[in-house]
């Protein structure tokens, strides 16, 4: 894809107009995570009520959806700093978590967004589907299989386990390894794993699908794209 800031590659399904995971060679790469659910209650049986109330709240605002803001960042921002400012400051329709990395060693951060506020951390830059640390009134996202059976503590634990697993991985992305896609990062909803290096202009992706009653397994070979990364 192409914008005034330069070219970028977006990985998603055909026809989707937002950006969830993308890389702009020589500029930056980013991914969007679903933020925790705003809870007015704590009982697991009342999650459907909070889910519906949050959807109604988001539908009543004129701010840009977070996936559209991420697309705007790739289309317009010439570098990591510009993308970070945009993702931190533009009001959005619903909470989101952005993971952003640039081309320099000190260019990486996680941006935790509510509709009008942000909290950015430049260390401990692994992210899942909860704030780090967890905040009162919010519940880490859980899959539909656990929607009515998991407790508040379970929800926070699922996201914490994924962050800790990613942080503990000691492999090398330069070697094209995807052994970091394992439980608990690997889960019944995993369909795509991506490794991106905007400084080198390298992007690798693997597709996953369910294998019977087991966890998803790779159904594609590693697809690798290499670009001539030119700094903006």
Residue 114 pLDDT? 96
Beta strand pairing call for 202-211 and 108-113: unpaired
What backbone phi and psi angles, to 5 degrees, belong to 196?
-135, 140
The SS3 call for residue 174 is helix
Residue 230 pLDDT? 55
What backbone phi and psi angles, to 5 degrees, belong to 226?
-130, 130
pLDDT in tens, the chain (232 residues): 999 999 999 999 888 999 999 999 999 999 999 999 888 887 777 788 877 887 888 777 789 999 999 999 999 999 999 999 999 999 999 999 999 999 999 999 999 999 999 999 999 999 999 999 989 999 888 766 665 557 767 878 889 999 999 999 888 776 778 999 999 999 888 999 999 999 999 999 999 999 777 899 999 999 999 997 554 4
- Residue by residue, DSSP assigns 23-64 as EETTTEEEEEEEPPEE-S---GGGHHHHHHHHHHHHHT--SB
Residue 105 pLDDT? 93
Residue 232 pLDDT? 46
Which residues sit opposite 208 in a β-bridge? 218
Please report which helix (H) or strand (E) contains residue 109, including its range.
strand 108-113
């Amino acid at each position: 894809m192409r914008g005034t800031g330069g070219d970028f590659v977006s990985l998603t399904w055909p026809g989707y107009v937002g950006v969830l995971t993308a890389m702009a060679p020589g500029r930056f790469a980013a991914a969007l995570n679903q933020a925790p659910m705003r809870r007015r209650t704590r009982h697991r049986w009342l999650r459907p009520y909070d889910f519906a109330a949050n959807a109604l709240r988001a539908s009543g605002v004129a701010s840009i959806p977070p996936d559209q803001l991420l697309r705007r960042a790739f289309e317009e921002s010439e570098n990591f700093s510009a993308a970070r400012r945009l993702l931190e400051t533009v009001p959005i329709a619903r909470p989101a978590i952005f993971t952003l990395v640039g081309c320099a060693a000190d260019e990486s951060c996680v941006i935790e967004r509510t509709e009008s506020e942000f909290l950015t951390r430049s260390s401990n830059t692994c992210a899942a589907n909860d704030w780090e640390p967890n905040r009162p009134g919010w519940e880490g996202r859980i899959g539909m299989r656990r929607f009515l059976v998991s407790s508040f503590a379970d929800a926070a634990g699922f996201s914490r386990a994924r962050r800790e697993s990613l942080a503990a991985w000691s492999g090398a992305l330069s070697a094209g390894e995807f052994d970091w896609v394992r439980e608990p990062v690997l889960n019944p909803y995993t369909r795509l794993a991506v490794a991106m290096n905007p400084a080198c202009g390298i992007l690798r992706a693997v597709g996953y699908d369910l294998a019977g009653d087991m966890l998803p397994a790779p159904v594609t070979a590693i697809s690798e794209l290499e670009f001539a990364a030119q700094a903006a």
